[in-house]
Structure formats: structure tokens, C-alpha cells
């Protein structure tokens, strides 16, 4: 599978050799932990103690941080400004004209940004270390309907495919003399020649993919075979069950703390 159409980064690492369902379970644990853990700091501890070592082990930490930085930073800036200065009541820390920076608003912003960070990085870690075709095959082999498995894989691939297509259209339009730089007015004039081909090519791509999967008997009700053999270590099923129990424990802890 072409890596241009996915975030997958091939590396020689233990993480890359794990079964896709094992990595999916680990990613679910990170996601649930980031959303369920109480307080402003436990999420960052989970990020530092679990996700960072997993990314280091997979040799994808630089790219993961680079992608996460570009996604999380705009959210972080807006959340800190809005919640910090517009929090109703609270304890003022710094006054800037009629506005004041509230302690409670900052704590809420820290908690929110930590959860956004865990959601984004857990997805990125899984996408960077898992081939989409292996994921789809493993899901279908475990009994998941082919249509649902295809939706999951297509969702993972949609952003890289759009980026690749947009870059191709941008290069083509530049070769025809389109001005995409300069001041704000010049950039605004260059948006329409980029957006229209992107939308039309995306619609054509959807039709081509539908024809391709139907040509491979995608909707046939019978049992399907695959040339891909997905191996797994003998200890991976046990690891998956341990992680699933840990996810249930995190959810139970979160519900119990909210009832206190």
C-alpha cells in the first residue's frame, strides 16, 4: 500500500510487528485514559509515561510530535485565551485592562488541552504504526462486517489522501501560472482554482473506489479469503485482555470519582 495515502511510517520495530488489534487495543486504552482520568495533570502523566515510550519504541516519536503540534497548538491557544480570560468568577491572577486571567479557567484549559493531546496522539500513534490494509484484513477475519471495516480504514486514510491530492493540484496550478503566494488578496483569488478541482477529483475518487471494491466482490455474502497472513506473538491475546480490563477499570474509576 502506498504510504502517500496513509500516515503509516514503516520502521523496524517491535511495535510495527504487533497484530493490528493489539495496537488498536493499546490506542483505545490511551484514548479512554486521556478522557477518563480526573484532574489536570494525570493525562499528561499518561502521555509522558506510556505514549512517549510507545512512540520511542516504534521509532515514530519525531513525526508524531510534529503532526500533533500542528493539530493541538491552535486548539491550545484558543482554549487558554477563552477559558483563561472569560471564565465566570474565579480567582484573578493577572489583570489586563478590563479582563483578568482566572486560576480556575487556566486549570480547565490545562485539562482540556491534555485531553485533546491524548485523543490526537493516540490516533496518530496507531496510524503511524499500522498499515490500513492489515487493519482491515484483521478486522474482517475477526468477524467485523466488511462494510464497517472499510469505513474505519477509509476514515484513517481520508486526511492523507486529501493532502496528497491537494498538493498535486497545487503543483499543477502553479505550473499553469497560478499565483498562490503574495498578499491576502492574491491568496484569496487562488483559493477557488484549488478548491473546485479538489472537490471534483474527490467525487471521482469515491466512484473509482466504489467500482474497485465491487470488482473485488466486496459486497459478496460468501466467505472471503486473503493473500495476507497476519502473524502475532503468542502473548498478544493475553496482553489484549489485560488492556481491555485496564480500560474497564479506568471507566469504572472515572464513574466512581464523578459520584463522590
pLDDT in tens, 118-137: 999 999 999 899 888 788 88
pLDDT confidence of residue 140: 77
Is the model's pLDDT at 2 over the cut of 50?
no
Mean pLDDT on 91-97: 78
Q: Which residue has the higher pLDDT, 10 or 211?
A: 10
Q: Which residues contact 118 (CB under 8 A, 6 or more apart)?
A: 30, 31, 33, 34, 35, 43, 46, 47, 51
Q: Which of 20-34, 168-182, 225-239 has the highest mean pLDDT?
A: 20-34
Q: Considering the chain, what is the average pLDDT of its residues? A: 80
Q: pTM (2 decimals)? A: 0.76
| Three-class SS state of 93 | strand
Mean pLDDT on 186-202: 69
pLDDT confidence of residue 227: 67
CA–CA distances in Å: residue 94 to residues 85, 102, 107, 110, 200: 9, 8, 15, 17, 51
Mean pLDDT on 133-154: 75
Measure the CA–CA gap between 182 and 160, rounded to whole angstroms: 27
Q: Where are the beta strands (DSSP E) in the chain?
A: 92-96, 99-102
Measure the CA–CA gap between 136 and 6, rounded to whole angstroms: 13
Q: Which of 17-31, 151-165, 244-258 has the highest mean pLDDT?
A: 17-31
Q: How many CB atoms lie within 10 A of CB 214?
A: 11
pLDDT confidence of residue 15: 93
What does the chain come to in residues?
A: 260
Q: Which residue has the higher pLDDT, 8 or 15?
A: 15
Measure the CA–CA gap between 197 and 240, rounded to whole angstroms: 44
pLDDT confidence of residue 1: 41
Amino acid at each position: 500500500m502506498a504510504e502517500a495515502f496513509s500516515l503509516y511510517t514503516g520502521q523496524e520495530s517491535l511495535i510495527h510487528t504487533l497484530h493490528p488489534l493489539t495496537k488498536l487495543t493499546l490506542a483505545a486504552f490511551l484514548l479512554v485514559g486521556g478522557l477518563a482520568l480526573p484532574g489536570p495533570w494525570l493525562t499528561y502523566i499518561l502521555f509522558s509515561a506510556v505514549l512517549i515510550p510507545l512512540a520511542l519504541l516504534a521509532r515514530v516519536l519525531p513525526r508524531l510530535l510534529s503532526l500533533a503540534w500542528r493539530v493541538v497548538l491552535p486548539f491550545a491557544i484558543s482554549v487558554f485565551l477563552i477559558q483563561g480570560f472569560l471564565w465566570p468568577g474565579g480567582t484573578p491572577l493577572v489583570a489586563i485592562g478590563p479582563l483578568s486571567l482566572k486560576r480556575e479557567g487556566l486549570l480547565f484549559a490545562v485539562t482540556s488541552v491534555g485531553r485533546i493531546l491524548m485523543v490526537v496522539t493516540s490516533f496518530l500513534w496507531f496510524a503511524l504504526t499500522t498499515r490500513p490494509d492489515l487493519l482491515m484484513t484483521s478486522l474482517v477475519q475477526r468477524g467485523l462486517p466488511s462494510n464497517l471495516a472499510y469505513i474505519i480504514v477509509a476514515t484513517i486514510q481520508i486526511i492523507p489522501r486529501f493532502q496528497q491530492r491537494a498538493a498535486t493540484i497545487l503543483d499543477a496550478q502553479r505550473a499553469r501560472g497560478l499565483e498562490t503566494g503574495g498578499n491576502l488578496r492574491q491568496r484569496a483569488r487562488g483559493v477557488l482554482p484549488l478548491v473546485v478541482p479538489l472537490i471534483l477529483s474527490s467525487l471521482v475518487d469515491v466512484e473509482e473506489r466504489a467500482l474497485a471494491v465491487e470488482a473485488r466482490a466486496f459486497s459478496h455474502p460468501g466467505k472471503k479469503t486473503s493473500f495476507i497472513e497476519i502473524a502475532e506473538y503468542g502473548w498478544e491475546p493475553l496482553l489484549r485482555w489485560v488492556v481491555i480490563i485496564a480500560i474497564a477499570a479506568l471507566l469504572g474509576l472515572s464513574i466512581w470519582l464523578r459520584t463522590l
